[in-house]
Amino acid sequence: MKKRPSLSIVIPFLNEEAVLPLLRERLGNTAGFPEDWSLILVSDGSTDGSVEYVESWMREQPRVKLLELSRNFGHQAAVTAGLAFADGEYVAVMDADLQDSPDTLIEMYEIGKSGFDVVYAVREAREGSLFRRLCYSVFYRIYGRLAETPVHLDSGDFCLMSRKATDCLNSLPETVRFVRGLRSWIGLKTTSVAVRRPDRAAGESKYGFWKLMRLAAAGLTSFSTRPLRLAMALGFGLCLSAIGLGLFYLIKALIFDLHTAAPGFATLVVLLLFLNGTVMLLLGILGEYLAQIFLEVKRRPTYVVDRFVDLETESEDRSEG
């Protein structure tokens, strides 16, 4: 049987031809990798020249492997696929755009070897638009309050995991994967390193606003049932206030004036809008969970592999994931 590499690095990419040469150069200039490290580049349905670039890179450096998904399944699915194929004693996940530094990865690897199963990066400072930073910060605060399991606040998917942690993560059954949530859910011996997150080295972000919103919804609904209970509490509170308000008006009318016309029109409209809005919001929350259940019960795989090419073992598999 083939010996496991000491370190496998999983990097998902979607149309990153502008970035991949910079990534290659940067990895080449980073000291501290073990002799037998390997790199698993997961193409998440790339349609530009990035796959061709990786193919030529592999021919020169057989430690580089290509895992090509059959179409774009999304970043989390691509990470999941990469983790399933990564066979290292330690497995790391990072982005292709050099927002995650290879030097930090080496630091994580050293920390991991000193006896940790999970080492993840915490973003102390982040570059990029104020709006985006605000969104991230608000999301993590809400997520931190709502999640019912331990949470790695302000951390993305950039991390290092031991074989044990990787196997454990891979064995989790859900189809909709919020990898950073699953990673904290498994527990084990965990620590973090603080990082500054620079802007991407080249190219455009592949995470648009709606993709980020979907990620946030998946994160919240897969790790918390509190929004549902919150909905119930809110509904209960509103009912009580409605009863209170009704009684108040009744008593007021009985004591002061039985013939009040309809001066409360504004109040009515405001209440009507507010209550309808609340009902819609609660339906939306229910819908999110329903969608999650719907996706899970279908039991479709998270991704489909078109091919896995490993020139070190000269194998090319065309298999389903």
Q: Which parts of this chain interact with ligand UDP (CB under 6 A)?
A: 12-14, 16, 44, 72, 74-75, 78, 95-97, 99, 200, 205-207
Of the candidate residues 116, 200, 303, 310, the single one contacting Mg ion (CB under 5 A): 200
Q: Would you call 153 helix, strand, or coil by DSSP? A: coil
Residue ranges in the chain assigned as alpha helix (H): 20-28, 50-60, 75-85, 102-113, 130-146, 163-171, 179-185, 209-223, 226-255, 265-297
Least separation, in Å, of the C-beta of 18 and Mg ion? Answer: 12
Residues for the chain: how many in total? 321
Secondary element (H or E) of residue 63: none
Given a contact cutoff of 8 angstroms between Cβ atoms, the answer to whether 45 and 69 are in contact is yes
Given a contact cutoff of 8 angstroms between Cβ atoms, the answer to whether 118 and 132 are in contact is no
Nearer to ligand UDP, 74 or 102 (CB): 74
- Among ligand UDP, Mg ion, none, the one that 72 touches (CB under a kind-dependent 5 to 8 A) is ligand UDP
Q: Which stretch binds Mg ion (CB under 5 A): 50-58, 88-96, 108-116, 267-275?
A: 88-96
The Cα-based distances of 276 to 111, 241, 271, 273 in angstroms read: 53, 15, 8, 5
Q: Which stretch binds Mg ion (CB under 5 A): 67-75, 99-107, 108-116, 184-192?
A: 99-107
Of the candidate residues 97, 157, 306, 310, the single one contacting Mg ion (CB under 5 A): 97
Nearer to Mg ion, 95 or 306 (CB): 95
- Among Mg ion, ligand UDP, none, the one that 78 touches (CB under a kind-dependent 5 to 8 A) is ligand UDP
Q: Would you call 113 helix, strand, or coil by DSSP? A: helix
Nearer to ligand UDP, 95 or 306 (CB): 95
Chain contacts with Mg ion (rule: CB under 5 A)? 95, 97, 99, 200
